[in-house]
């Protein structure tokens, strides 16, 4: 049995101010084993991105627990969470989030440098080469295609060798073919490095490539393929 890398207990969060507050996460329980790929689907506004932000330690819960790799993020202060995230969690966004006035190489190397990782430019060059961008190291984001920009973002996310890779609609801004190439890259990196991959997507085909699918609706988990499987197994055992 693989070890549990994510353990979310009764996770509850309301966002916004009094005039416009939204109960976004309504007591979510979720356990994910290390090395799994998990596709998260659900209607727009159902809380998928917020769930990922909580798992990345970028949003703090109002109540409940979040344990990543046995570290209780809910019990850490902001600096401790940021330090943990930098070492253990890679994040990829729909809109790439690259720094416009830095080259591809700098976008990957500078966060490593800020985290005092030795040889940041060497690591950045290696990561960019491994995502197929050896010929684009000195290009600025504005000089790269959408697919290339997402490759830079993936290289940046992978550079600290995180155990957990979180991607929020990583193919959402890309055409179908480019989106498929980016998805192929994410899955091949996940397998190659034995990472856990959490992927929010509108694309059911992409979610179905994951070893587990979760459907979120209105701040709750409405359907979880792992729960369905374990229920089917226990029903078979009873029958
Ligand atoms: N900072 C915020 N303040 C108030 N409401 C928010 C905030 N962020 C998200 N929401 C609301 O929370 C709900 C869930 O948002 P989100 O997690 O982005 O959904 P999804 O990614 O599934 O589309 C939405 O109704 C959204 O309007
Ligand atoms: Mg979203």
Q: Over 125-182, what HEC string results? A: HHHHHHCCCHHHCCCCHHHCCHHHHHHHHHHHHHCCCCCEEEEECCCCCCCHHHHHHH
| Cα dist from 12 to 20, 63, 120, whole Å | 17, 5, 38
pLDDT-derived band of residue 233, with 50, 70 and 90 as boundaries?
confident
Q: How far is it, in rounded angstroms, from Cα 88 to Cα 230?
A: 29
From 234, 232, 218, 231, select the one nearest 28 (Cα to Cα): 218
Which listed ligand is nearest to 44 at the C-alpha?
A: 1
Residues with CB under 6 A from ligand 1: 15-16, 22, 24, 42, 44-50
Tell me the average pLDDT of the chain: 95
Q: Tell me the mean pLDDT in the region 138-154.
A: 98
From 163, 152, 2, select the one nearest 88 (Cα to Cα): 163
pLDDT-derived band of residue 19, with 50, 70 and 90 as boundaries?
confident
Distance 59 CA to ligand 1 centre (A): 12
Which pTM does this prediction carry? 0.94
> Ligand 1 pocket: which of 17, 22, 198, 207 to mutate (most atoms <8 Å of CB)?
22
Distance 24 CA to ligand 1 centre (A): 7
Q: Tell me the mean pLDDT in the region 147-168.
A: 97
**How many CB atoms within 10 Å of residue 130?**
17
Atom of ligand 1 nearest to the CA of 43: 22
User: What confidence tens digit (pLDDT) does each residue in 97-130 have?
Assistant: 999 999 999 999 999 999 899 999 999 999 999 9
- Torsion angle of the four alpha carbons 56, 197, 207, 181, in this order, in degrees rounded to the nearest 10: 110
Which listed ligand is nearest to 46 at the C-alpha?
A: 1
> Ligand 1 pocket: which of 24, 51, 93, 199 to mutate (most atoms <8 Å of CB)?
24
> Would you call 196 helix, strand, or coil by DSSP?
strand
User: What confidence tens digit (pLDDT) does each residue in 177-217 have?
Assistant: 999 999 999 999 999 999 999 999 999 999 999 999 999 99
- DSSP letter at 97 equals -
User: Using CA positions, which residue lies closest to atom 27 of ligand 1?
Assistant: 45
User: What is the phi/psi pair of residue 155, to 5°?
Assistant: -60, -40
User: Using CA positions, which residue lies closest to atom 12 of ligand 1?
Assistant: 24
């Amino acid at each position: 049995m693989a070890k549990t890398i994510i353990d979310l207990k009764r996770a509850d969060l309301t966002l916004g101010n009094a005039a416009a507050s939204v109960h976004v996460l309504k007591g979510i329980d979720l356990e994910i084993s290390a090395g799994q790929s998990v596709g998260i689907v659900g209607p727009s506004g159902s809380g998928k991105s917020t769930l990922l932000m909580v798992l990345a330690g970028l949003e703090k819960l109002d109540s409940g627990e979040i344990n990543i790799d046995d570290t209780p993020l809910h019990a850490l202060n902001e600096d401790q969470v940021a330090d943990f995230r930098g070492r253990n969690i890679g994040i990829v966004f729909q809109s790439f989030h690259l720094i416009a006035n830095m080259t591809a190489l700098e976008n990957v190397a500078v966060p490593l440098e800020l985290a005092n990782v030795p040889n940041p430019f060497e690591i950045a060059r290696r990561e960019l080469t491994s995502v197929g961008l050896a010929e684009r190291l000195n290009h600025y984001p504005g000089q790269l295609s959408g697919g290339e920009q997402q490759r830079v973002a993936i290289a940046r996310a992978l550079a600290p060798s995180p155990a957990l890779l979180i991607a929020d609609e990583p193919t959402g801004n890309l055409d179908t073919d480019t989106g498929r190439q980016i998805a192929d890259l994410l899955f091949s990196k996940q397998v190659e490095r034995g990472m856990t991959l959490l992927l929010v997507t509108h694309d059911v085909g992409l979610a179905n490539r994951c070893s587990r699918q979760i459907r979120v609706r209105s701040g709750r988990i409405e359907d979880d393929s792992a729960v369905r499987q374990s229920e089917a197994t226990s029903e078979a055992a009873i029958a």
